[in-house]
A and B are shown apart, each in its own frame.
Chain A
């Protein structure tokens, strides 16, 4: 089955800096790559997703890039704010398979 690895496990940045979280996946047939944000004690919520026919997608301060050849995708957050502090999960789903999540990245944005 699909295996997703996520790095780093923790990330601390200064407010206003950029943050980058990277994920690799094992199944080259995977075609949907969502990113979820989970604030402390809350449920995971989708913040952005990308499909395999697109190389990059942007939504205001967040962007996701996908490199199908290398089988990795990344989340980019620019101009970070304290409210960006949370755990971020990447995921991948192959056709006919189950969604597999990365282990998560705890992002801390210091004011």
Chain B
């Protein structure tokens, strides 16, 4: 099993450009999450999904959109990137809300 995978691994965007980050999991998990990690601030939840076709806002959702068209995939979109969105983005999945979250390898995004 590959676990949780993310593409791309690195990306550089100019302000105002758009992009989509893809997360895939092969563990048949219902729950999927997108976090951003900034120095000294831990992991902050952007959006999450409790099942195919569902999405919900987390702690820092502004400037991001998500979609979960298939159970195994969770997409994070930036419609108009801003320098404040420079961060490392982690996707995660879990069997239930109060269970271990399995993280992907991360995507390092730089917005100039």
Taking CB atoms and an 8 Å cut-off, the chain A residues in 43-64 that contact chain B are 43-46, 49, 51
Q: Using C-beta atoms within 8 Å of the partner chain, give the interface range for chain A.
A: 20 to 34
A99 to B99 CA separation, bound complex (whole angstroms): 10
Taking CB atoms and an 8 Å cut-off, the chain B residues in 35-66 that contact chain A are 40-45, 48, 58-59
Interface majority SS (helix, strand, loop, mixed), chain B: loop
Which residues of chain A have C-beta atoms less than 8 A from B41's C-beta?
A: 103
Which residues of chain A have C-beta atoms less than 8 A from B85's C-beta?
A: none
A98 to B59 CA separation, bound complex (whole angstroms): 8
Question: Are B98 and A31 within 8 A (Cβ)?
Answer: yes
Q: Is A25 an interface residue (CB 8 A)?
A: no
Question: Chain A nearest CB: distance from B67 CB in Å?
Answer: 19
A13 to B42 CA separation, bound complex (whole angstroms): 22
Please report B residues at the A interface, Cβ cutoff 8 Å: 40-45, 48, 58-59, 90, 97-101, 103-106
Please report A residues at the B interface, Cβ cutoff 8 Å: 1, 6, 9, 31-32, 34, 42-46, 49, 51, 89, 93, 95, 98-104
